[in-house]
Structure 1
């Protein structure tokens, strides 16, 4: 009996083993068939991923290759190209070299006069009486006589368009009482603007020896500016007086009714000159200013500015051999900027900073208050540049923040930095870090409970630290 039971048990065990084996084989087959599409898909994805790598590499290589300054073959003593909003220097060739600027000096006179009008100290239609100094001034001029009367605007246009030295001196004396008093204003402004090498001897840019003798400065120090000085000065003009082109873009101006010929703008590169036979070869798209300059010592200089596709650039070339050459060289400099660079928003306004999403505000209902950057951050970068590598450094307010705080309260700063291929410098901009919402003060009962909780937490940590 026992033997029969043992046999039955053995047969049952074999049948069970057989069923498990068959089930295992079936399960294995099912797994294999089910995994096959996945493996094919995985292989397909891998193939697709591999095939996109060259495209990614190709996308990376679409970044504009910035040519060297040397490759431009500039025939100048110095040159510079800047973007005025950020102040970025895009091209630099001996830009810190102090040189005679000639009539580019008048940009400072233009700035000061326009600023006084902007402040309401003078009006454009105020009448100026010409004095002896202006009447005796030589060089480019409109032949003012002592006692002549003209409005500030008329003289200003003569200065900006025709580079009239006598009109410039007349304005300087009207504003400050004497030209040398105005020169002090010019030098004070140069310090305020941070012009590294600039020194002004007069309002015009004439050599001291060419000034009327009795009005020459006693120290004998000639006017000098570097290309960098001129670019910074131009930056102040276009940013503080955005209507500058109302004067500088005029092609011609008839100063007096009796004049047989109008004043012709010395700036041949004005875009409006594209249809003028004598100047169309120099006309440049978007160019609307600023100032030429020429003396025997200075050679030929030009500070130009043009705007294309929402980006304005300022160029300065100094020490070219001819009046035509200063425009040829300026074209090279401006083309370098517009062909190779573009403005790009790096950080959107009110962006969250990774790692500093909130700040602790004492006595607030919610002690962790969200914070964001106060404004957008844009840089001028090589065209097609990858801007994903921007870095952020946060500097929070040292003193504790206590509720209540209004939305938009400054709680620190964040500095964004970016180094692009093709740029020698690391671009940086610092903006405020502000609260993204109101931080209301908590009620007394909540503050009491919070204080009790902090007390016992500190007590527990103190006891724990004993062991």
Structure 2
């Protein structure tokens, strides 16, 4: 009752789409901390994701590093598959020699900054032994992260037909697909579980194999980084993607004044409706960031120590006091649209396991003891949409006892019992007498 409403609302309704008029097949804008959805268009439509795929490869690599299964200075010996991909000049790549050895850190940098495809496959082979095994890990991790509407067939996001006959999962012309919602959820988990990814994703340019004859300048494909051509204040990630099947895609993230937002744009088009204009994915992303930073702010909707009107206390039995004050343990803060703070109302949910049939607590009660929880909902029936249940739980706080209530001793309890007995007797006599008249 308290948490189900609005978790997965239909987000294709016109109220959000009409506001921004995003020129793309699908798009979504979320507040990063809670995953609150601020805008969505065709959020559950399954589409090509191209190199946004590499966010999953990044996740699995950073997880392997954290668990000690892979080390940054670990060396990789180039396989025939990786060598052939590396020398396809039609793909984004850094030069990898057939007899060369490369450490995982430089391969990771090439993948994250320059979307280098051969370097990505090299990472997949390092972690799982083969890309086929790695793809299995990708799909399993997607399920573990609670993603829906996805299918991974390779580690890069390329079309399988570009893999020189080395593809081993899916059909020859298949690509990886996801929904905008699932892509945003993946980005959200990547940022929350491994925020260090931004140290590399925010690097505007870096030289691969600097000082050698294989040196190549890697300019970040994320042209919204502040120092690049379509620079936008606060942008520090995350991943672009481009194929003929997927069109122009971009998962972006930006932070200002402590507020971070995540955007996903899929098959972006320019104002004339044409695709494959590289500027369009950044133009459409800019619309979403402008909307977020100009129209939303984080507000304290419920302060710490808040008491719900009409429910400031709970009755207590067997205690030295017959009631106890209750209050919120923590504040509730959430990003809300400017001017709409007053639209939200608190909802108190008491823990029925703590109460008897009469709704009473039983002493002793310790200060700080949880007796329920408090959440918020929109007073004007606007649904709250969140990427995950975990995100929505961040707008729910514990309600606790504000003071100790000690258990009364046996004598006091006995006297109360006697008093209650005679009170009931007197009440019965009084009612009878009144009945005579």
Q: Are 1:392 and 2:352 matched, yes or no?
A: no
Task: String of CA shifts for 1:80-117, please: whole Å, max 9, x gaps.
Answer: 11112222221212222111100001111112222333
1:434 to 381, 400, 410: 400
Where 1:319 maps in the other structure, the secondary structure is strand
2:282 to 310, 327, 331: 327
1:253 to 206, 215, 227: 206
> 2 CA distance for matches of 1:178 and 1:85?
35
Structure 2 match to 1:46: none
**Structure 1 or 2: larger helix share?**
1
Structure 1 match to 2:272: none
> 2 CA distance for matches of 1:159 and 1:425?
39
Structure 2 match to 1:355: 310
Over alpha carbons, which structure has the higher Rg?
Answer: 1
Structure 2 match to 1:160: 112
Q: Are 1:189 and 2:147 matched, yes or no?
A: no
Q: Are 1:92 and 2:40 matched, yes or no?
A: yes
- What aligned pairs does 1:176-325 form with structure 2 within 5 A after superposition? 176-218=128-170, 222-257=175-210, 258=212, 259-273=214-228, 279=229, 282-320=230-268, 321=275, 322-325=277-280
8 Å contact from structure 1 (residues 392, 416) kept in 2: yes
2:321 to 363, 366, 369: 366
> 2 CA distance for matches of 1:444 and 1:182?
68
- Which shows bigger deviation, 311-320 or 353-362? 353-362
Where 2:375 maps in the other structure, the secondary structure is strand
Distance 1:403 1:77, change over 3 A: same
Q: Which runs of 5+ in 2 are unaligned?
A: 1-13, 269-274, 356-360, 386-391
Distance 1:383 1:448, change over 3 A: same
Distance 1:327 1:446, change over 3 A: same
RMSD between aligned alpha carbons? Answer: 2.9
1:416 to 373, 376, 381: 376
> 2 CA distance for matches of 1:212 and 1:135?
11
Q: Which has the higher contact order (CA 8 A, sep 6+)?
A: 2
Following superposition, the deviation at residue 458 of structure 1 comes to 6.0
Structure 2 match to 1:425: 383
Structure 2 match to 1:40: none
TM-score normalised by the chain length of structure 2: 0.80
Where 2:336 maps in the other structure, the secondary structure is strand
Following superposition, the deviation at residue 463 of structure 1 comes to 7.8
Structure 1 match to 2:271: none
Where 2:352 maps in the other structure, the secondary structure is coil
> 1 CA distance for matches of 2:286 and 2:294?
11
Q: Which runs of 5+ in 1 are unaligned?
A: 1-65, 274-278
Structure 2 match to 1:70: 18
Number of residues of Structure 1 aligned to a counterpart in Structure 2: 392
Structure 2 match to 1:407: 367
> 2 CA distance for matches of 1:411 and 1:337?
36
Where 1:78 maps in the other structure, the secondary structure is strand
